[in-house]
């Protein structure tokens, strides 16, 4: 075990942010006038001028060159869900044979990648390929180091020639604007003079680590990120001894370097621990504004993989790398606060603050109920279908956990019943119709998809490989729309407090069907949710179809978050990505079965047959060996048959290209079913085949060798 780098020579405080062009660096390098104007631009109070762009570009170039960077990149997030980049050097030729380093305000502000080369759902054809990347002033630029090579990255938005969003960042920024606009209206009605509202997000990233040697020997892991065949090891997670368990020396050293690499680019990683499954871990970061937190999580996933590689490991971010044990998710913690840091999801110290808290809370309840299909669609990816509702992750049904005490308070309030306080400090609200609020209102419920945890909502359905942009865009849009309705009522009210109380009662009583504090893993809840009329989109395809429902299209347009064309393009792109992912997995199964598994088992079956014949010749007992030979023969025959059937099903699926919805449905209903049948027989074969003969590393080697 080697240590690739030694950080002991430097203090953590010196390392943190050393490769981030953050606020402190800008304050130091920019003239005061330019810095002040840039802060106004970041807060949406002013448009970006050429003068500011040139000054910032000059400071960026100076800083990046001093750090040793040779190239810069407009770093953006296309609809693939990952990131994209093109590297341009700082060099320019001023005179023949003379090179100088240059970086202009124009180069900072805008790049021009080929938009037709990225998934765009028809928004950009090859003959109209122009797309633009534009500097996102709110997200710090950074330097990424790879084996001594340094590239300067500038976070950008990606859009078409006519302004249509071609990425995940633009809608997220629009949704942040929408929720800020509507929240300020509510606050103004309460007499609050807040000037700015930020949505804060904190991510908890789960991942698996496997030894790279074993990873390289598995075609399925290399091509798809998950094992398509494989039996659970003798020991799994049944002893509950992995969660918060002791971390091995090898992984501890890896985590140490991971933290330092994250800190260098200004990502505040805070917590790390073992997760529930063997080989599974988590890293959590401190909150930041939604847009920055999203960028940081994208960068975190990339750094996670590169650091793991240096330590001879592979970081797996697929939602379900291994069958039979827990998969990986990403908890998205959401809160909302003003420029002074006042969190409006925290009960306050005054009656007015507590009234506002309950209003915000019940607005969330309404948003989760009214726009459940949109929230569900935002976490719809092929990998997530393997874990949602499988007793390891929340169900695909959107519900909210408020905790028993807060639910009791809202029930009593709605029904005008006096509330008998429990033990603990009570926060008075100063209105007779409202009870006092205990400071510690909630417990934890890991089975809930949306849980209120005291001062934030935690969305636990996000897949581990997903961008945070989509879920937060949908949450922001849903909450902003309800806030807009609330603001309309408050602005027209003669008595704001009375109207707020009426709204709290109304929203909770009409939408409390979405509140559930019990075990979300249970079949009882699935049945109860159906009785309540809650939607249950149990696969990616049915969830994605919700994107273009007329009522949702109208809502997005009302808040200028998505146009109808942008939504239709996303549906097309996401369905196409889904189909391609399943196609790759199915193709890999056929490849592994035909070229590796079937030949290996045929050789082993022949060996068993020879051994059987030899034993019979000397009159040794052969009954048990005959059973094994029969199983091998039968399962091998079924494996060949199911491989051929799967291959034929893939061919049929490919023929449906052009109709994205029909094709995605076929992959979901037919191809996946054929894959499961083939896996059943191959996994059964593995149990009866000599380990030395089996062509791929086993689960035991993958999960218990770190």
Whether residue 674 contacts residue 642, with contact meaning beta carbons closer than 8 Å, is answered with: yes
Q: What is the pLDDT of residue 112?
A: 65
Q: Distances from the Cα of 277 to the Cαs of 18, 171, 284, 343, in angstroms?
A: 35, 35, 17, 34
Pairing mode, if any, of strands 98-101 and 110-111?
unpaired
What is the model's pLDDT at position 88? 85
Mean pLDDT for 548-561 is: 98
Q: Which of the four pLDDT bands, split at 50, 70 and 90, describes residue 1?
A: very low
Cα 154 from Cα 606, distance rounded (Å):
60
Flag whether pLDDT at 129 surpasses 70.
Answer: no
Confidence band of 150 (pLDDT split at 50, 70, 90): very high
On the question of pLDDT at 237 being above 60, the answer is no
CB 178 within 8 A of CB 559: yes
- Local structure of residue 233 (DSSP, 8 states): P
DSSP bridge pairs for 135: 156
Residue 677: predicted pLDDT: 98
Nearest to 458 by CA among 294, 288, 363, 334: 334
DSSP state of 46: S
pLDDT at position 68: 94
pLDDT at 236: 54
Q: Tell whether the model's pLDDT for residue 117 goes beyond 70.
A: no
269: how many CB neighbours lie within 10 A of its CB?
20
Residue-range domain boundaries for the chain: 12-164, 176-562, 575-703
Largest CA distance in the chain: 102
pLDDT at res. 5: 56
479-519 per-position pLDDT tens digit = 999 999 999 999 999 999 999 999 999 999 999 999 999 99
The secondary structure of 463-509 as a DSSP string is BTTS-SHHHHHHHHHHHHHHHHHHHHHHHH-SSHHHHHHHHHHHHHH
Structure tokens at 141: 């630029």
Asked if residue 322 lies in contact with residue 228, where contact means CB atoms within 8 angstroms, the answer is no
CA distance 216 to 309: 12
Tens-digit pLDDT profile for residues 363-422: 999 999 999 999 999 999 999 999 987 777 788 999 999 998 889 889 988 888 776 665
Decide: 79 and 567 in contact? Cβ < 8 Å: no
DSSP state, residue 640: H
CATH pick for 176-562 out of 3.30.590.10, 1.10.8.60, 3.40.50.300, 3.40.630.30: 3.30.590.10
Residue 674's pLDDT is what?
98
Closest residue by Cα to residue 81 from 497, 469, 598: 469
Instruction: Report the pLDDT averaged over residues 633-661.
Output: 97
What pLDDT score does 99 carry? Answer: 65
How much of the chain, in percent, has pLDDT values that exceed 90?
Answer: 72
Q: What whole-number distance in Å separates Cα of residue 484 and Cα of residue 666? A: 40
Q: Which helix (H) or strand (E) holds 284?
A: strand 280-285
Token output for 156: 């950008």
Residue 142 sits at the vertex; the CA angle it makes with 112 and 76, to the nearest 5 degrees, is: 35
pLDDT at 75 over 60: yes
Q: If one looks up domain 575-703 in CATH, what number appears?
A: 1.20.120.1560
CATH 3.40.50.1000 fits domain 12-164 = no
What pLDDT does residue 393 have? 77
Residue from 107, 162, 163 nearest 135 by CA = 107
Q: What is the enclosing helix (H) or strand (E) of 511?
A: helix 496-511
pLDDT of residue 66: 93
Check whether 450 has a pLDDT greater than 50: yes
The reported pLDDT for the residue numbered 162 is 81
Between 133 and 697, name the one with better pLDDT: 697
Give the model confidence (pLDDT) of 306-345 as tens digits.
Answer: 999 999 999 999 999 999 999 999 999 999 999 999 999 9
Q: What is the mean pLDDT of residues 470-478?
A: 98
**Closest to 387 measured CA to CA, from 476, 305, 280, 293:** 280
Q: Please report the pLDDT score of residue 422 as a whole number.
A: 56
What's the pLDDT tens digit per position in 424-443?
A: 444 444 444 455 555 555 55
As a whole number, the mean pLDDT across the chain is 89
At 274-304, the pLDDT tens digits run 998 999 999 999 999 999 999 999 999 999 9
Q: Which residue would you say has higher pLDDT here, 87 or 321? A: 321
Mean pLDDT score, 461-473 = 97
């Amino acid at each position: 075990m080697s240590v690739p780098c030694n950080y002991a020579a430097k203090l953590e405080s010196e390392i943190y942010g050393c490769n981030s062009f953050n606020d402190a660096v800008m304050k130091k390098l920019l003239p005061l006038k330019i810095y002040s104007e840039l802060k106004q631009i970041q807060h949406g109070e002013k448009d970006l001028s050429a003068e500011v762009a040139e000054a910032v570009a000059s400071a960026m170039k100076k800083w990046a060159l001093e750090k040793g960077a040779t190239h810069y990149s407009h770093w953006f997030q296309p609809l693939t869900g990952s990131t994209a980049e093109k590297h341009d050097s700082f060099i320019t030729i001023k005179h023949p044979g003379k090179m100088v380093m240059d970086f202009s305000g124009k180069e900072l502000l805008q790049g021009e990648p080929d938009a037709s080369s990225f998934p765009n759902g028809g928004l950009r054809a090859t003959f109209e390929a122009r797309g633009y990347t534009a500097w996102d002033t709110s997200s710090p630029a950074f330097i990424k180091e790879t084996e001594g090579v340094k590239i300067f990255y500038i976070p950008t938005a990606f859009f078409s020639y006519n302004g249509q969003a071609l990425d995940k960042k633009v809608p997220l920024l629009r949704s942040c604007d929408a929720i800020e606009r509507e929240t300020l209206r509510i606050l103004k009605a309460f007499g609050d003079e807040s000037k700015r509202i930020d949505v804060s997000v904190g991510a908890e990233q789960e991942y698996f680590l496997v030894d790279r040697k074993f990873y390289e020997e598995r075609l399925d892991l290399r091509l798809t990120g998950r094992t398509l065949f494989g039996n659970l090891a003798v020991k799994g997670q049944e002893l509950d001894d992995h969660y918060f368990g002791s971390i091995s020396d090898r992984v501890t050293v890896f985590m140490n370097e991971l933290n330092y690499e994250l800190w260098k680019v200004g990502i505040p990683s805070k917590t790390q621990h073992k997760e529930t499954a063997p080989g599974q871990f988590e890293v959590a970061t401190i909150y930041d504004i939604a847009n920055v937190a999203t960028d940081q999580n994208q960068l975190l996933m990339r750094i996670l993989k590169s650091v793991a590689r240096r330590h001879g490991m592979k970081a797996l971010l697929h939602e379900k790398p291994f069958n039979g044990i827990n998969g990986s998710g990403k908890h998205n913690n959401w809160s909302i606060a003003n420029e002074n840091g006042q969190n409006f999801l925290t009960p306050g110290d005054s009656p007015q603050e507590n009234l506002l808290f309950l209003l915000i809370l019940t607005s969330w309840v309404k948003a989760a109920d009214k726009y459940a299909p949109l929230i569900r669609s935002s976490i719809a990816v092929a990998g997530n279908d393997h874990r949602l509702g499988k007793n390891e992750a929340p169900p695909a049904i959107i519900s909210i956990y408020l905790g028993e005490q807060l639910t009791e308070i809202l029930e009593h309030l709605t029904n005008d019943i006096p509330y008998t306080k429990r033990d603990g400090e009570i926060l008075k609200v100063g209105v007779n119709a409202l009870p006092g609020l205990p400071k510690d209102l909630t417990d934890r419920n890991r089975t809930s998809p949306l849980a209120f945890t005291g001062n934030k909502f935690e969305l636990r359905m996000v897949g581990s490989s997903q961008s945070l942009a989509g879920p937060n865009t949908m949450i922001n849009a849903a909450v902003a729309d309800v806030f807009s309705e609330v603001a309309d009522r408050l602005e027209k009210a003669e008595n704001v407090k009375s109207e707020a109380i009426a709204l709290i009662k109304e929203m909770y009583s009409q939408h409390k069907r979405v509140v559930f504090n019990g075990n979300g893993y249970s079949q009882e809840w699935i049945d109860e949710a159906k009785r309540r009329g809650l939607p249950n989109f149990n696969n990616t395809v049915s969830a994605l179809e919700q994107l273009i429902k007329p009522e949702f299209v109208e809502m997005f347009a009302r808040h200028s978050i998505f146009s109808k064309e942008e939504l239709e393009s996303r549906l097309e792109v996401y369905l196409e990505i889904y189909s391609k992912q399943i196609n790759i997995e199915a193709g890999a199964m056929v490849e592994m079965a035909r070229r590796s598994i079937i030949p290996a088992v045929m050789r082993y079956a022949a060996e068993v047959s020879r051994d059987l014949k030899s034993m019979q010749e000397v009159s040794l007992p052969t009954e048990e060996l005959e059973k094994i030979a029969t199983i091998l023969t039968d399962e091998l025959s079924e494996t060949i048959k199911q491989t051929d059937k799967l291959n034929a099903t893939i061919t049929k699926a490919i023929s449906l290209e052009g109709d994205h919805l029909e094709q995605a449905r076929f992959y979901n209903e037919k191809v996946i079913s054929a894959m499961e049948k083939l896996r059943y027989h191959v996994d059964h074969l593995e149990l009866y085949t000599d380990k030395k003969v089996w062509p791929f590393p086993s689960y035991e080697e993958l999960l218990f060798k770190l």
